[in-house]
Structure 1
């Protein structure tokens, strides 16, 4: 990993923040992996959910910056789930295990969709204080792959990786964006066939967010003006769904602004969340 020039902070992250693993389901194969940094006395941390291609490591720059400002940050990697309700139930069990009643959720792409579905899932007994949605979406039909969602489990890993890589930026990009893409490609290589297949299934199976169930949750939408996997149609749908959301637009950043435009993203995280809840 050292040769990937995303940031010198990565070595600090790997040497300072231990990786923890938890099993909260009856199925011992479902292991949640996470980095939990910052004061454990904080009972309402911010939790980061990665995109299809990501692992818990992809938010290392957010972990370093936010913990440096006194926040508690949890960056996690979810186990293999093939159904959205199954994911939401597992995530609820994880929060129960960590004794966290209320959390802020930052989700990138699929992670953002899962964050919205979890807020919806727990709306009768709210667990989500705020949502920060980065390059995310509210309806899986935008990918036009709902008909193939049930066949991903059959596909070999190399084909699944090819599908994911097809959404990465093509053509010339600035050095920071190039390093971010290299880093994400490296992370993608660490994912197993079942991890990738299950994530693509969640990403594409027919589902959408019911906004009336999460109308009381504060929402911040972070998106980019340059090339990303998210269509203009998907962005407009998010704006319609959350008309009162804070909007944070980045001129550039591609699919992974939390890596290549981390300073701006970290600032928007501060602005978009209630710092009192972070630090008490």
Structure 2
């Protein structure tokens, strides 16, 4: 997995976007890969990480989908202390990055955040694809303590997050995904960890009545540890009219632990909303082929028309030639007849002369 990530890092440059929010500069870090898409105004897919890791965690989605023509933007938000600030700043970021609306992919807490964003700014959301997402933050109240997050040592903060990860025997792909995410936690900044822990331990609930359920797909990994069966059942209860897809293997980080199924369900979801660069490319190629065939047929018709015109011209020339030849023959015949008459006339004249004598 690390080799794939190293390849990704060498191909796609990490960007920093500055916004002015509450009279302060805030920095969003992101990976933006347009792949081979030639459409400038293509609606992008924005990926929001959860409690653990930053914009790097979705590299498998970008490696798989971007070369096919999808535009994916993996976005890591700067630290905020309240949900309202996170939501308002995301709206400013979209303006700054000139994105009117997008499809959003949210992982775990990232899905919860983007649901809260969609409640306030539904006009900016084409659709939502949410993996291992919960409806209430109450499940993470055990992360609280009497000591404020802001004064805890960094290693204690990271240990609080690492305790959420299962320490037991698991399938190889799941172990690989956990190892990668542990490295990502170690590289997270202190401010980022404090901000995320403060947000996830605030009591918040999703309000389905403010959202469009038919525009949402939920992906549930049935073998998760952080993401429990209780969370899955509650999500299905909150959104009975949304699309729900279950996968047996994926773990708490199914975008890494079972990226093939994750990517498959994501492409199926996007196709439902008309975003299918592979199909569009096939249609475009088919249209090009049809245009080429039509042009070839037109050229052949023009060639046949020119050939017929040449044949007609040749026939006309032959007819004219025959007419000229006939005229010449007539003139010659007339001349011959005239000469014959003259000859007869002379003969008669001579005959009369002899008779007189």
TM-score of the superposition, structure 1-length normalised?
0.91
Deviation per residue, 1:195-241 (Å, 9 max, x gap): 10110111110111111111266111111111320222211111111
Alignment of 1:1-280 (within 5 A): 6=1, 8-26=3-21, 28=24, 30-38=26-34, 39=37, 41-123=40-122, 126-145=123-142, 148=145, 151-215=148-212, 218-274=215-271, 276-277=274-275, 279=277
- C-alpha separation between the residues in 1 aligned to 2:275 and 2:146? 38
Counterpart of 2:327 in structure 1 is: none
User: Which structure is larger by alpha-carbon Rg, 1 or 2?
Assistant: 2
Equivalent position SS for 2:148: helix
What is the Cα deviation at residue 194 of structure 1?
Answer: 1.4
Q: How many residues align?
A: 273
Q: Is the 8 A contact 2:213 2:242 kept in 1?
A: no
- C-alpha separation between the residues in 2 aligned to 1:165 and 1:234? 20
Q: Is the 8 A contact 1:53 1:187 kept in 2?
A: yes
Instruction: Name structure 2 gaps, 5 residues minimum.
Output: 281-357
Q: Is the 8 A contact 2:135 2:205 kept in 1?
A: yes
Q: Give the alignment's Cα RMSD to 1 decimal.
A: 2.0
Counterpart of 1:3 in structure 2 is: none
- C-alpha separation between the residues in 1 aligned to 2:60 and 2:139? 30
Equivalent position SS for 1:137: coil
- C-alpha separation between the residues in 1 aligned to 2:243 and 2:146? 32
Q: Is the 8 A contact 1:150 1:205 kept in 2?
A: no
Deviation per residue, 1:25-82 (Å, 9 max, x gap): 2455521000010146144111111111111111001011111221100001111011
Which one has the bigger helix percentage? 2
**Further displaced range: 86-95 or 165-174:** 165-174
Structure 2 CA distance for partners of 1:216 and 1:181, relative to 1, 3 Å: closer
Equivalent position SS for 1:244: coil
Equivalent position SS for 1:256: helix
Higher relative contact order (CA 8 A, sep 6+): 1
- C-alpha separation between the residues in 2 aligned to 1:115 and 1:100? 16
Q: Is the 8 A contact 2:213 2:239 kept in 1?
A: no
